C-alpha cells in the first residue's frame, strides 16, 4: 500500500453516460520506458507531472488536447464542464466551454464521478490486476531475454504503465451508461429540470448497495485460494481472514491512515523511483 508508483486518472463523461471521454493518465516520467518501443505506445492520453498530480499546466493540456477534441466529435454546441474548486482549473478560455466549479469542500457530495464511478473503476482495475498477477505467479517459469523496455506483467511479472493503461482502457469501456447516469442522479448537481429528466430514464433508481464489492472480494479470494502457490503464501490462513484482507486492500484508498502515509511519502520525496512504472 505504500509503494511509490502512483498515477492520476482523469475521468469525464456526460450526464446520461452515453459519452465517455478517453481516460487520461498523469505519471512522473516525461516518457516512460514502457512506451518507447514500437508498438508500445500508450493507448490512452498520457501527461507528466513531477508528483503525478493534476496542476494548471496539465489541466490546460487535457482540456485542449483531450476534452475539447472529443467533444467536437459529438457536438458543436456549448458544453459545461463540472470541476473541483481548484486554482489549477483557472485560465481556460473557449467560446464553446463553460467551467462550473463546485463550492469548496463539497466534491465528495456533488461531484458525479465521486459518487461511485471512480470507486467502481478502481475496484475492477484491482480485480483484473490481482488476477493477472496470481495467474503469472501460478504458472511462473524462468524468463530469459526480458529487458526493462519490454518487461510487462505478461512476460516478467513486473507491472508497467503499459499494463495499467490497457486494463483501465478496457474497464472504462465496459462502464455502462446507466451506472454513470446514476452517479449524476446521486450527486444532485444538475438543475432541477435536468435532474428530473435524467431520473425519469431510470425509474428503478435506488441507492447503490455493496453487492458489487462483495462479488469482487469473492472473485479475488477464489483466485488466491485456487492458485497452487496459496499454501506457501497463506499458510494456516482461514478463508475469513483472507476475505478481510482482500476487502481492506480494495478499500485502501479510503483508509485515512494509508492516505496520510501516502501524502507524507509524496511530499517528503523518495529515492529509487523508476520511470518505467
pLDDT (tens digit, 9 = 90+) per residue, 68-103?
Answer: 999 999 999 999 999 887 666 677 888 889 988 888
- The pLDDT score that the predictor gives to residue 267 is 63
66: which 3 cell numbers? 483531450
Task: Tell me the C-alpha distance between 36 and 41, whole Å.
Answer: 7
Question: Is 110 a member of any domain?
Answer: yes
Question: Is 3 a member of any domain?
Answer: no
Task: Tell me the C-alpha distance between 107 and 89, whole Å.
Answer: 14
Dihedral sign from CA coordinates of 75, 78, 80, 86: positive
**What is the separation of C-alpha 254 from the centre of its chain, rounded to a whole number of angstroms?**
14
For the stretch 6-26, pLDDT in tens is 899 999 999 999 999 999 999
For the stretch 157-210, pLDDT in tens is 567 889 899 999 999 999 999 889 989 988 888 888 888 888 887 755 444 345
Domain residue limits at 175: 8-267
Question: Is 202 a member of any domain?
Answer: yes
Question: Is 43 a member of any domain?
Answer: yes
Closest Cα partner for 80 from 67, 66, 69, 62? 67
Question: Is 276 a member of any domain?
Answer: no
Question: Is 273 a member of any domain?
Answer: no
Question: Is 274 a member of any domain?
Answer: no
Closest Cα partner for 19 from 92, 71, 77, 80? 71
Closest Cα partner for 123 from 239, 50, 204, 211? 211
**What is the separation of C-alpha 87 from the centre of its chain, rounded to a whole number of angstroms?**
23
| Total of domains in the chain | 1
Question: Is 16 a member of any domain?
Answer: yes
Q: How many CB atoms lie within 10 A of CB 198?
A: 18
- The pLDDT score that the predictor gives to residue 219 is 79
Amino acid at each position: 500500500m505504500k509503494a511509490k508508483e502512483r498515477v492520476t486518472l482523469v475521468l469525464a463523461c456526460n450526464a446520461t453516460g452515453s459519452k465517455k471521454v478517453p481516460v487520461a493518465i498523469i505519471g512522473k516520467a516525461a516518457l516512460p520506458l514502457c512506451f518507447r518501443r514500437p508498438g508500445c505506445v500508450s493507448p490512452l492520453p498520457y501527461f507528466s507531472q513531477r508528483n503525478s498530480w493534476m496542476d494548471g499546466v496539465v489541466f490546460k493540456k487535457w482540456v485542449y488536447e483531450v476534452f475539447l477534441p472529443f467533444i467536437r466529435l459529438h457536438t458543436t454546441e456549448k458544453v459545461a464542464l463540472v470541476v473541483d474548486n481548484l486554482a489549477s482549473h483557472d485560465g481556460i478560455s473557449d467560446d464553446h466551454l463553460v467551467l462550473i466549479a463546485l463550492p469548496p469542500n463539497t466534491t465528495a457530495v456533488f461531484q458525479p464521478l465521486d459518487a461511485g464511478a471512480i470507486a467502481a473503476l478502481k475496484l475492477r482495475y484491482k480485480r483484473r490486476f490481482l488476477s493477472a498477477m496470481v495467474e503469472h505467479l501460478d504458472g511462473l517459469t524462468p524468463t530469459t531475454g526480458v529487458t526493462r523496455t519490454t518487461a510487462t506483467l505478461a512476460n516478467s511479472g513486473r507491472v508497467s504503465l503499459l499494463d495499467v493503461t490497457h486494463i483501465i482502457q478496457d474497464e472504462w469501456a465496459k462502464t455502462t451508461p446507466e451506472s454513470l447516469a446514476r452517479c449524476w442522479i446521486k450527486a444532485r448537481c444538475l438543475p432541477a429540470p435536468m435532474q428530473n429528466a435524467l431520473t425519469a430514464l431510470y425509474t428503478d433508481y435506488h441507492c447503490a448497495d455493496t453487492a458489487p464489492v462483495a462479488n469482487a472480494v469473492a472473485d479475488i479470494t477464489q483466485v488466491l485460494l485456487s492458485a497452487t502457490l496459496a499454501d506457501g503464501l497463506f499458510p494456516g490462513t482461514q478463508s475469513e481472514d483472507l476475505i478481510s484482507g482482500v476487502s481492506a486492500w480494495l478499500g485502501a484508498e479510503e483508509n485515512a491512515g494509508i492516505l496520510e502515509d501516502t501524502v507524507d511519502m509524496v511530499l517528503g520525496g523518495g529515492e529509487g523511483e523508476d520511470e518505467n512504472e
